[in-house]
C-alpha cells in the first residue's frame, strides 16, 4: 500500500518542480543582441549595450541570477558591471522576471581597452541560485571584438607638430628721431637759439646717412600754431613756420651733401596737441576745459568758452599754449640687419656676435636637425634666461621620437616661462603617456600657440570625441586628421587628407587600407596594406587580427600580404 502511494507522489513532485523551471539550463545566443555588433575601442574604453531576454517558462520563481559581461582573449579577461535578476517569489529589490512571461533587460557595460582585446570575444556569465542550491547556466558568447582603430592615435601622435618658440627677428627695423623748433607768439622766424636744435638734428641725419646698416626713409616737418587767435592768423603763422623750418633743414642737408626727401605739412590750430597737454597737466578745472573741447567743435566758440574760464586762462597762456608754437622734426630711417648668409656663418663660427633673435632665426635657415640642435644649444648657453631655445630643443627631440629628452627640455622651458607653446608641447607629452586629464589641462593653457588646433584634434580622438576632432583639425593634412575623419565616418574627406599628407609613412598607408575596408574597396585594401607592410613589417601582425579587415581574412591577396 505504501509503495502504491509513493510512486504517484514522486511523479507529482517532479511535475511541480519542472513547472517551476528548476533546471534553468543553457540560454541560446539568439536571446541577446549587442550594440555595436563588433565591439570598438572609443576613447580608451570598449563600451557595449546588451539587450537580453529570459524566455517564457524559464526563470524559476525562487531563482536569483547574476549576469556578468566578460570580455575574453588569449591569456586574459576583463569583467564588466554585473546585473542581478530575481524570480517572482524572491523578496528583494532586483528586477523581477516572470516565470510565465519571461522578461527583457538592458545592460550597459564598458571595459578599459588593452591591445590584447583586438582578438577577443564577449561572453555573458551567469551565477544562479534557487534557494541554497547553485544552478549551472553555461556562459553564452554574444559578440566579437575589438576594433581598435581609434588607438592608432598613439602612433600618429608621433607625427604631431610641436609648437615652436618663434624668433622675433626683423631684418629691417623702422626707427625715428624727433626734435622740436619752438617759436614765439605770432612769430615764424627761426631764432638763433633754435638753429642749434636744427644743427643737432642734422648731425643725427648725417650719422644715419653714413652708417652702413642704416637707410634714411624721409624727413618730416610738421608745423603748428596754437589755437588762440583767429584762424586766418594762425594759418599764416603755421604755414610760414613750415617754410622757414624747411629752409633751415634743406640748407643743412645741402651743406653736408645728404640726399633725403623732406615732406612738410602744417596745422593752423593745434587743438589735438592742446587737448593732450591739458589732459596730462595738473591745471585747475582741467576736466571743465576738456568738457568744453568735447562739447564745441567750432574753433572760435571753443576759444571763447575757454577764455570765459578766467581762473585758468592765464595758466593756459603761460604753460600750455607756448608748447604748441612749434615745428616738429622727424627723421624716419631703417636699420638693416645681417643677411641670412652672415647670420648662418656667425651661428657656426662665433655665435656670441649674434643677439638672441638672430640666433634663433639662424636655426630656421637650415633643415639639418643636428645643426638646429647645435644652434639652439648655443642659444641656451648665451641666453639661459629665455625659454624658447629649450622649448625648440624639446621640439627636435619629440620629432626624433625621444620623448623623455623632449619632456626634460619642455619642463626646463616651463620653469623659465609658462608660455602657451610650452604648455601645448607638454600636452602632447601627456597624450603620449595616455594621461588625457593632464593633456587637457596643459592644452587649456596653450591659447595662442600656432599648432594648438592640431594638438586639440589629437586630444579629442583620445577622448572619443571624433566630430570635435574633425573640426579642430580643419584642413590639416596629417595621419591624425585622417584618423579622426575615418572614426567620424567622413570617408571622402579622409581619403583627400591621406592623399595630401606631406611625408606619408606606414600608418598613412595602413589608414588608407582601413578606409578601403570600410568603403568595400578591395584593391585599395590590398595595395595600401602592401605598402604599409613594406614600410613597417610589424603591421602585418596587426592587420592579421584587426577586425577592420575581418571580411578579408579569407582573401588570398590579403593573406599573402600578412603571412
In this predicted model, what pLDDT tens digit does every residue of 73-88 receive, in sequence order? 999 999 999 999 999 9
Examine the domain organization and report whether 326 and 248 are in the same domain: yes
pLDDT (0 to 100) of residue 5? 33
Same structural domain, 123 and 231: no
The answer to whether the CB of 458 falls within 8 A of the CB of 446 is no
Q: Give dist(CA 110, CA 401) in Å, integer.
A: 32
Which pLDDT score, from 0 to 100, does residue 13 have?
34
Please state the rounded mean pLDDT for residues 409-427.
98
Residue 288 lies in a domain: yes
302 vs 228: CA distance, rounded Å: 10
Whether 181 and 222 map to the same domain: the answer is yes
Query: Which residue, 106, 130, 147, sits at the end of a domain?
Result: 147
Residue finishing a domain among 81, 113, 147: 147
The pTM assigned to this predicted structure is: 0.76
> Which of 301-315, 362-376, 405-419 is least confident?
301-315
Beta carbons of 404 and 410 less than 8 angstroms apart: no
- Indicate the DSSP class of residue 356: H
Phi and psi at residue 381, to the nearest 5°: -75, -40
Average pLDDT over residues 124-134: 94
Comparing 212 with 374, which gets the higher pLDDT? 374
* Count of C-beta atoms within a 10 Å radius of residue 78: 20
CA distance 179 to 194: 11
143/199 same-domain check:
no
Confidence of residue 23 (pLDDT cuts 50, 70, 90): low
316 Cβ contact list (under 8 Å, min separation 6): 278, 283, 289, 306
Beta strand 120-130 with 63-73: parallel, antiparallel or unpaired? antiparallel
Q: Are residues 127 and 176 in the same domain?
A: no
Domain count, the chain: 2
Statement to judge: residues 143 and 178 lie in one domain: no
Longest dimension (CA), the chain: 152
Q: What does the pLDDT look like over 39-67, one tens digit per residue?
A: 999 999 999 999 999 999 999 999 999 99
C-alpha cell of residue 548: 577592420
Query: What mean pLDDT is predicted for residues 469-484?
Result: 97
Residue 282 lies in a domain: yes
Would you say residue 556 lies in a domain? no
Q: What is the mean pLDDT of residues 527-538?
A: 96
- Residue 295 has a pLDDT of 83
Domain shared by 186 and 287, yes or no: yes
In percent, the amount of the chain with pLDDT more than 70 equals 96
- The domain that contains 84 carries what CATH number? 2.60.40
Give the model's pLDDT for residue 158: 87
pLDDT for res 18: 40
Q: At what angle do helices 403-416 and 420-432 cross, to 10 degrees?
A: 150
177 and 141 both lie in a single domain: no
Size of the chain, expressed as the number of residues it contains? 563
Does position 429 have pLDDT exceeding 60, yes or no? yes
Rounded CA separation 183/198 (Å) = 13
CATH number for the domain spanning 281: value is 3.30.1330.60
- Examine the domain organization and report whether 233 and 106 are in the same domain: no
352 falls within a domain: no
Q: What is the pLDDT of residue 148?
A: 94
Q: Locate 120 and state its grid cell.
A: 577577443
Inside any domain, residue 409: no
Listed residues 279, 309, 336: the one ending a domain: 336
For the segment 141-162, the average pLDDT, to the nearest whole number, is 93
Is the residue at 457 inside a domain?
A: no
Q: What is the pLDDT of residue 145?
A: 84
- Domain assignment present for 470: no
Do 114 and 245 belong together in one domain? no
> Are 177 and 307 in the same domain?
yes
Return the SS3 of 521. Answer: coil
Above 50 in pLDDT, residue 6? no
Distance CA 126, CA 267 (A): 95
What would the pLDDT profile of 229-275 be if each residue is shown by its tens digit?
Answer: 788 899 999 999 999 999 999 999 999 999 999 999 999 988 888 88
Domain housing 246: 172-336
Torsion angles phi and psi, residue 230, rounded to 5: -70, 160
Please check whether residues 218 and 332 belong to one and the same domain: yes
- At residue 457, the pLDDT reads 97
Residue 165 lies in a domain: no
3-state secondary structure 134-190: EECCCCEEEEEEEECHHHHHHHHHHHCCCCCCCCCCCCEEEEEEEEEEECCCCCCCC
What's the Rg (C-alpha) of the chain? 41
β-bridge pairing 95-96 and 32-35:
unpaired
Amino acid at each position: 500500500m505504501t509503495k502504491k502511494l509513493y510512486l504517484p507522489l514522486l511523479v507529482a513532485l517532479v511535475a511541480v518542480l519542472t513547472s517551476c523551471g528548476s533546471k534553468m539550463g543553457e540560454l541560446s545566443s539568439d536571446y541577446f543582441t549587442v550594440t555595436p555588433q563588433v565591439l570598438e575601442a572609443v576613447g580608451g574604453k570598449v563600451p557595449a549595450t546588451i539587450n537580453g531576454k529570459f524566455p517564457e517558462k524559464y526563470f524559476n520563481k525562487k531563482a536569483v541570477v547574476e549576469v556578468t559581461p566578460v570580455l575574453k582573449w588569449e591569456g586574459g579577461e576583463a569583467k564588466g558591471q554585473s546585473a542581478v535578476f530575481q524570480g517572482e517569489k524572491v523578496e528583494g529589490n532586483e528586477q523581477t522576471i516572470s516565470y510565465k512571461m519571461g522578461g527583457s533587460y538592458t545592460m550597459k557595460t564598458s571595459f578599459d581597452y588593452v591591445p590584447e582585446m583586438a582578438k577577443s570575444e564577449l561572453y555573458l556569465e551567469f551565477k544562479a541560485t534557487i534557494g541554497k542550491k547553485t544552478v549551472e547556466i553555461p556562459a553564452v558568447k554574444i559578440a566579437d571584438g575589438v576594433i581598435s582603430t581609434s588607438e592608432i592615435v598613439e602612433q600618429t601622435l608621433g607625427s604631431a607638430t610641436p609648437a615652436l618658440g618663434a624668433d622675433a627677428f626683423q631684418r629691417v627695423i623702422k626707427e625715428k628721431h624727433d626734435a622740436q623748433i619752438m617759436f614765439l607768439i605770432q612769430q615764424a622766424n627761426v631764432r638763433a637759439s633754435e638753429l642749434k636744435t636744427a644743427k643737432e638734428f642734422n648731425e643725427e641725419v648725417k650719422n644715419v646717412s653714413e652708417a652702413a646698416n642704416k637707410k634714411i626713409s624721409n624727413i618730416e616737418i610738421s608745423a603748428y600754431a596754437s589755437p588762440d587767435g583767429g584762424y586766418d592768423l594762425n594759418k599764416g603763422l603755421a604755414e610760414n613756420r613750415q617754410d622757414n623750418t624747411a629752409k633751415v633743414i634743406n640748407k643743412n642737408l645741402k651743406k653736408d651733401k645728404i640726399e633725403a626727401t623732406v615732406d612738410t605739412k602744417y596745422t593752423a590750430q593745434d587743438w589735438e596737441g592742446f587737448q593732450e597737454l591739458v589732459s596730462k597737466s595738473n591745471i585747475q578745472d582741467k576736466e571743465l576745459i576738456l568738457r568744453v573741447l568735447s562739447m564745441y567743435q567750432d574753433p572760435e566758440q571753443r576759444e571763447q568758452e575757454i577764455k570765459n574760464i578766467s581762473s585758468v586762462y592765464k595758466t593756459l597762456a603761460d604753460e600750455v599754449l607756448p608748447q604748441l608754437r612749434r615745428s616738429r622734426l622727424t627723421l624716419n630711417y631703417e636699420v638693416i640687419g645681417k643677411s641670412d648668409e652672415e647670420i648662418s656663418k656667425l651661428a657656426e663660427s662665433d655665435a656670441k656676435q649674434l643677439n638672441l633673435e638672430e640666433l634663433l632665426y639662424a636655426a630656421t635657415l637650415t633643415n639639418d636637425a643636428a645643426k638646429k640642435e647645435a644652434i639652439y644649444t648655443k642659444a641656451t648657453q648665451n641666453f639661459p634666461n629665455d625659454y624658447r631655445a629649450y622649448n625648440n630643443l624639446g621640439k627636435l627631440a619629440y620629432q626624433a621620437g625621444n620623448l623623455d629628452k623632449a619632456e626634460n627640455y619642455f619642463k626646463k622651458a616651463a620653469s623659465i616661462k609658462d608660455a602657451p607653446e610650452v604648455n601645448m608641447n607638454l600636452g602632447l607629452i601627456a597624450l603620449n603617456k595616455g594621461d588625457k586629464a593632464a593633456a587637457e589641462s596643459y592644452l587649456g593653457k596653450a591659447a595662442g600657440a600656432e599648432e594648438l588646433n592640431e594638438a586639440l584634434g589629437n586630444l579629442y580622438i583620445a577622448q572619443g570625441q571624433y566630430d570635435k576632432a574633425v573640426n579642430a583639425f580643419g584642413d590639416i593634412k596629417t595621419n591624425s586628421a585622417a584618423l579622426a575623419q575615418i572614426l567620424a565616418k567622413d570617408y571622402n574627406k579622409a581619403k583627400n587628407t591621406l592623399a595630401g599628407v606631406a611625408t606619408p609613412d606606414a600608418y598613412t598607408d595602413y589608414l588608407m587600407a582601413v578606409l578601403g575596408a570600410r568603403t568595400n574597396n578591395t584593391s585599395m585594401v590590398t595595395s595600401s596594406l602592401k605598402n604599409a607592410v613594406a614600410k613597417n613589417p610589424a603591421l602585418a601582425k596587426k592587420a592579421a587580427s584587426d577586425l577592420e579587415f575581418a571580411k578579408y581574412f579569407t582573401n588570398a591577396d590579403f593573406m599573402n600580404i600578412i603571412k
